[in-house]
Structure 1
């Protein structure tokens, strides 16, 4: 791996910092706005805390292994096994929700689709990550460049924790509006402080 290990380490560090920042911003938005203290947003808050926790347990280990050039694929495989049960339950839940919504009015269908889209994208992304990991674990990947194998095997650890806060933060209108309000408030405060000095 030679000098590329420093590039890989830097990329992993940037992803780790991005995951921490993106999740922390959405957590702070949910925490600071009283109107977001509802079960769905508190559930999302716990999801984002989980993303930070999972990334903190995996990415520093990955970065250390990159520097010592001893990458371990079993980390990702263990992660997949530990979450396969909950994902199958969540998938079952969505099938039931969709069955109820199909029988509902046009407005109910539209609202359900709007609400469930981020969840479904997240689940599908996770399933793709699991599939990629299983393929790279089970089949001869010697014809695939090694850096690509590393990136593909770490997809679940890198992309998923960064995708969720961005997707939920942009898709859910209450979080998006609260974020705009918080950003506008901080900008005004900085402007007023700057003019006062």
Structure 2
């Protein structure tokens, strides 16, 4: 290990001095976190107890809902502690754990959305062969591979970071982010970590899934242009929630990549914070909402239970 013995923690500077408003922010964050857990857990339970929902698409949704709970848990409990804290320090160990959790959450989300686009592609492009191509067994294996590969990939990525020596301590964020931690390094090997971060994080975990999603939707669009009105309606109903989820998550990702390169003084501080944690609050609430309201079988199951 090369970690400097002088640096034992980082300072998350984006919290600033919020005074007595910290109790209000803490309460709002707690309400949102509980809402995320309840909304996603409710749909997971509904899919589990309803036999007619034991289909490949709903198994993908379960994985998505579990990941949303995991992603919110990666940040929001720590966020609540930091809101009430006076110093906003985070130890190196907890910072690395947070990076691991946040990175795996993003990887699993992108890859799950990508494989769901393939599910929609087969359903619309090859409807007669759907049950032969997309089986429950294959879906279970794919979901397991997504989670395992994401954990291994982020573990390898993080192994480069934890070996670095750090000279800076201030992270201009409400949470630990790998590329910001790398900027605090004064180790001569930090360039290898940057390269690994770009190749592993940006190329394989983001660009590749997005290119695959774009390809599948081009195929779906080509089918819809030649299909009947009934097929177009079916495609619209099944693809709309998925597209909304993708655009929402991509927006969050692009904001966090682009925003540090621009002057944000004209943007209210509270809005900057909300946008920076959009993927951990809005996305986990949006997914159960749009899938719960848009998909007919889930709506019917909700009505039955109510």
Range class of TM-score, shorter chain: 0.7 to 0.9
Distance in 2, matches of 1:150 and 1:167, equals 24
Secondary structure of the equivalent of 2:71? helix
Secondary structure of the equivalent of 2:235? helix
Distance in 1, matches of 2:46 and 2:304, equals 9
CA pair 4-91 structure 1, distance change in 2 beyond 3 A: farther
> Unaligned regions of 5+ residues in structure 2, if any?
1-17, 89-172, 181-200
Corresponding position of 1:22: 39
Corresponding position of 2:206: 84
- Aligned 8 A contact 1:77 1:133 in 2: no
CA pair 130-30 structure 1, distance change in 2 beyond 3 A: same
2:75 matches 1:58 = yes
Of 26, 46, 57, the residue aligned with 1:9 is 26
Post-superposition Cα deviations, 1:29-50, rounded to whole Å, max 9, x if no partner, equal 1111000001011111111111
Q: CA deviation at 1:151?
A: 0.9
Corresponding position of 2:237: 114
Distance in 2, matches of 1:76 and 1:105, equals 48
Corresponding position of 1:192: none
Distance in 1, matches of 2:290 and 2:178, equals 23
- Larger displacement relative to structure 2 (161-170 or 137-146): 137-146
Corresponding position of 1:165: 288
- TM-score when scaled to structure 2? 0.55
Runs (4+) of structure 1 exceeding 4 A deviation are 80-83
2:36 matches 1:41 = no
Larger radius of gyration: 2
CA pair 91-157 structure 1, distance change in 2 beyond 3 A: farther
Secondary structure of the equivalent of 2:174? coil
Alignment of 1:168-179 (within 5 A): 168-179=291-302
Post-superposition Cα deviations, 1:171-194, rounded to whole Å, max 9, x if no partner, equal 0010000111112xxxxxxxxxxx
CA pair 40-76 structure 1, distance change in 2 beyond 3 A: farther
Distance in 1, matches of 2:217 and 2:296, equals 21
Equivalent pairs, count: 182
2:160 matches 1:143 = no
- Larger displacement relative to structure 2 (106-115 or 96-105): 96-105
CA pair 146-83 structure 1, distance change in 2 beyond 3 A: farther
Distance in 2, matches of 1:74 and 1:113, equals 38
Distance in 1, matches of 2:57 and 2:28, equals 33
